[in-house]
Structure 1
Amino acid sequence: MRLGRAPLAAGLVIGLITLPTGGVAADPQPTISQAKAKLEKLNDKADKVVDRYNTATENYKAAKKRYDKLNAGYKRKLATVAELRQQVVTMAVDGYKMGRDLTSMPTMVTAENPGDLLYQMALTERLTADRAGRLAAFDRENRGLKIERDKAQGALGEADEERDKVKKERSEIEKLIAQQKKLLDRLGAYRVGDPNSTGVKYTGPASGSAAAVLNFAYAQIGKPYQFGGTGPGGWDCSGLTQASWRAAGVSLPRTTWQQWAWGASRRVSLDALEPGDLIFSEGLGHVSIYAGNGKIVHAPQTGDVVKVVPLSAYGRRLVGAVRP
């Protein structure tokens, strides 16, 4: 009997070992098509979060710049008030001494020369007027000091709020990147890119400013997508478009939203695209550059590199185009 039970016991042990913890079957791995669909949704979400991050970053820089300027003005006014305060103290001491010496009755009565008396009286009057002017300046600057301080403190509060937004958006982006990378690794499609890539030569139909734009953009091909990237080793979509048009002497705002708003009077039909035009996705989470011949150059998303693809393979719904 003992020998008969041994195979059964061994079978039970093996069965227990091979069962998943808790006795529940492990979640099945997503299929390739499911992984691609999920990645597309993540990319779309990441586009919007990255643009919010870029906007918060630009707002923080502007608020910090405003604070620094106001704070410098406050410090200058503080120094002016301190100097005036010292003058008022000195003036009070000197005024007491001179008032006692020049305007006292014995001095007036014993003056040997009427001219000396008139001079002393005029000097006293002049000193009194000077004291009044300095006191008024001190009072004026002192009241202005509080206004400058309050302005600087308000600007600092705004900068702190924007900095907190940057941290929040950055934290969400990092979570999204982890999910994107996991899916890309599963698909075997994660591309590290080369920060030192010299790109490829542009040979399309662009001319003039558009040629300068596309020559720059094509020289970035192969460099990695990097959220918040403004080069030279990595780019996000709006960082690439901004730098490319800067190479042609045109100053674009930093974020996708800002570039779309900036181009409000420069919109063009998607049926009439020309090389160099900026093409925006629905939701304004992504922007690319039209290269001509039905192609675009862009910095796509995490795990990919700056590249040229057919506009038809863009993979995002389009909302419109801008010609800078």
Structure 2
Amino acid sequence: MTLTATTAAAAAGVGLTATAGHADSVSTIEAQVTTLNSQAEQATNVYDGAMEQMANLQKQVDAIQGEAATSQQAMNNLLATLGPLAAEQYRSGSVDPTLELMLSNHPDTYLQQASVMNQMGQNELIALKSLKIQQAQLAELKKEAADRLAQLQQAENQAAQAKDQVVAKFRQAQDLLSQLTYTEQQSLSYGTVTAEQIASLPKVGGRAGVAIAYAESKIGMWYQWGGEGDPSFDCSGLVEASYAAAGISLPRTTYEQVNMGYSVPALLNLLSPGDLIFYAGDEHVAIYVGNGVVFHAPRTGMQLGYAPWNMMPISAVRRVV
């Protein structure tokens, strides 16, 4: 996944700040908090994507460095083979200049001199050609590692910027919410699910059942943006981990997850437990668990739990099992 400065800028959104004193109405604050939460979700997806990219790049760097170490060892072995030839000539008082050139830092120069090569034995010539190949491979591996490290640094910078944006949006939302009473704050939640609805949730088998059981086992944990289970989750992190427990690999961000499986109409009678429901332009995702109920990781300051399936405007439904 390639993250761009444009994507990061989009996540920043338009800053909103609390006004002095109590806002004109709860609806005004609700609209502003909704906007801030949406911007925080966008920034969180940028952060999640950057972290995913960083992990992939680090694996590539490790692999390249491993290859470079192997190539370096091969060069060392070749030099160790050629070294005694030089030592013998040195002891006799006449080090062959062609051998000195061969053992230099630029053996390719030697290969360019055909007349000099003819003075060497066949074994030495083969060893020198191998040395040249190893040297070229090592140079290429070092360049590739440097390129990956530069990309890794860029991803780290994007993650840091997105993190700052999430924190800023959350603080702005908290400033707005602090103007409301506890009852008014509760009215701005994702909606409520009754105990009867939860008690009557269907028993689900197969992979969907495993994914749902995993998600439900995390009930009550506090949302953690960028979280993949250590110690908690954000919305896409919960979905990814739940389906990983069922043996299904999903991408890290909601923007990628929404392309998995196949589309299902957003109609309650057509939903099946395990379906993924995406909201607000694919910025948020929840797992449908049946009986008009979803399980999700809501947002910063809230606990993982149940919510109505239509808690926000639905942008897509995907079936991945």
TM-score over 0.5 (shorter chain): yes
TM-score interval for Structure 1 and Structure 2 normalised by the shorter chain:
0.7 to 0.9
Superposed, 1:121-160 pairs within 5 Å as 128-160=121-153
Instruction: Tell me, in whole angstroms, the C-alpha distance in 1 between the residues paired with 2:89 and 2:199.
Output: 80
Q: Is the 8 A contact 1:201 1:215 kept in 2?
A: no
Which residue pairs with 1:178 in the alignment? 171
Structure 2 residue corresponding to 1:33, chosen from 8, 27, 30: 27
Local SS of the residue matching 1:262: coil
Which residue pairs with 1:321 in the alignment? 318
Superposed, 1:1-324 pairs within 5 Å as 27-30=20-23, 31-94=25-88, 128-187=121-180, 188=182, 189=185, 203-231=201-229, 233-263=231-261, 266-271=262-267, 272-312=270-310, 314-324=311-321
Local SS of the residue matching 1:319: strand
1:244-265 residue CA offsets vs partner (Å, 9 max, x unmatched): 11222212222112212233xx
TM-align CA RMSD: 2.7
Corresponding residue pairs, total? 263
Amino acid at match of 2:287: I
Gaps of 5+ in 1: 1-25, 101-124, 191-199
1:58-99 residue CA offsets vs partner (Å, 9 max, x unmatched): 011111211121122112212322332343332233367799
Q: Structure 1 249/144 Cα, relative in aligned 2: closer, same or farther at 3 Å?
A: closer
Local SS of the residue matching 1:215: helix
Q: Is the 8 A contact 2:280 2:312 kept in 1?
A: no
Local SS of the residue matching 1:296: strand
Query: What TM-score does the superposition give when structure 2 sets the normalisation length?
Result: 0.74
Local SS of the residue matching 2:298: coil
Q: Is the 8 A contact 2:234 2:298 kept in 1?
A: yes
1:151-199 residue CA offsets vs partner (Å, 9 max, x unmatched): 1111111111111111111111111121122233333348xxxxxxxxx
Query: What TM-score does the superposition give when structure 1 sets the normalisation length?
Result: 0.73
Distance apart, 1:208 and its partner CA: 2.1
Q: Is the 8 A contact 1:297 1:308 kept in 2?
A: yes
Instruction: Tell me, in whole angstroms, the C-alpha distance in 2 between the residues paired with 1:243 and 1:63.
Output: 21
Instruction: Tell me, in whole angstroms, the C-alpha distance in 1 between the residues paired with 2:154 and 2:75.
Output: 31
Local SS of the residue matching 1:231: coil
Largest Rg, 1 or 2: 1
Instruction: Tell me, in whole angstroms, the C-alpha distance in 2 between the residues paired with 1:164 and 1:202.
Output: 47
1:131-160 residue CA offsets vs partner (Å, 9 max, x unmatched): 111111112111222111111111111111
Instruction: Tell me, in whole angstroms, the C-alpha distance in 1 between the residues paired with 2:128 and 2:200.
Output: 70
Q: Is the 8 A contact 2:277 2:314 kept in 1?
A: no
Distance apart, 1:220 and its partner CA: 1.4
Q: Structure 1 52/202 Cα, relative in aligned 2: closer, same or farther at 3 Å?
A: farther
Q: Structure 1 152/211 Cα, relative in aligned 2: closer, same or farther at 3 Å?
A: same
Instruction: Tell me, in whole angstroms, the C-alpha distance in 2 between the residues paired with 1:43 and 1:202.
Output: 31
Distance apart, 1:232 and its partner CA: 5.3
Q: Is the 8 A contact 1:298 1:307 kept in 2?
A: yes
Instruction: Tell me, in whole angstroms, the C-alpha distance in 1 between the residues paired with 2:320 and 2:126.
Output: 59
Q: Is the 8 A contact 1:180 1:302 kept in 2?
A: no
Amino acid at match of 1:144: Q
Once the two structures are aligned, what percentage of the paired residues are identical?
A: 27
Instruction: Tell me, in whole angstroms, the C-alpha distance in 2 between the residues paired with 1:260 and 1:89.
Output: 60
Q: Is the 8 A contact 1:56 1:163 kept in 2?
A: yes
Instruction: Tell me, in whole angstroms, the C-alpha distance in 2 between the residues paired with 1:208 and 1:89.
Output: 65
Local SS of the residue matching 1:51: helix
Instruction: Tell me, in whole angstroms, the C-alpha distance in 2 between the residues paired with 1:70 and 1:215.
Output: 40
